[in-house]
Structure 1
């Protein structure tokens, strides 16, 4: 399990650097509440992004984005609203959206990174 956790943490680190590099301001990481956890909360110019990061060594069992199904998406929206309720000043004036980052490869530092913006 530790190796899987290490891979996930490395993927989140890479995703954080990627998002920062394209102009996102990271507000929170691994934020937890009774309903679950948000990997990354970030601010863009006019959006508050709830970002799910999925890291996989291969696509052997499907693309990482396939793990963000309707149930997971619903939970991410709930978590986003919970974060906003707890951080009203940081969220003021921003439209909420859910995003996903996939990192694929044995080494997340050099693996493929894909970013989906504004999931339905």
Structure 2
């Protein structure tokens, strides 16, 4: 079954974020990692650091505030559970500092920059 338009847009947004982060020296560990408690869009690393990225692609004038509504408490709780599951599956990363961010990606035809929101504080 071919991907839906929403799946294609999500993949495009993730690829845009991944390109930006690779330019900053981040290396991809996981993309769309799933467990029974949720999904992690991107997990990246630099020496001594991990980065967990939740990607939200949105069109201009999106009714959910460019993806902000999708980052409310229930979503953050699912992310935290999925993150704990990932750490249990990758115990060698347990003591590595992690930063959790959301990347709000304007979809074409918008040329606006990606907005970064720090999560988990």
Matched with 1:11 is: 13
**Conservation of the 8 A alpha-carbon contact between 1:11 and 1:53:** yes
SS at match of 1:85: helix
- In the TM superposition, structure 1's runs of 4+ consecutive aligned residues that sit over 6 Å from their partners are none
Q: Give the RMSD, CA atoms, in angstroms.
A: 2.0
Matched with 2:76 is: 73
Residue correspondences, number: 118
How far 1:63 sits from its partner (Å)?
1.8
Matched with 1:60 is: 62
TM-score by length of 2: 0.84
- Matches of 2:107 and 2:119 in 1, distance apart? 24
Q: Which has the higher mean CA deviation after the structures are superposed, 91-100 or 6-15?
A: 91-100
Q: Which runs of 5+ in 1 are unaligned?
A: none
* Residue number among 87, 98, 101 corresponding to 1:96 in the alignment: 98
Structure 1 residue 115 and structure 2 residue 108: aligned?
A: no
**Conservation of the 8 A alpha-carbon contact between 1:12 and 1:53:** yes
Q: Which runs of 5+ in 2 are unaligned?
A: none
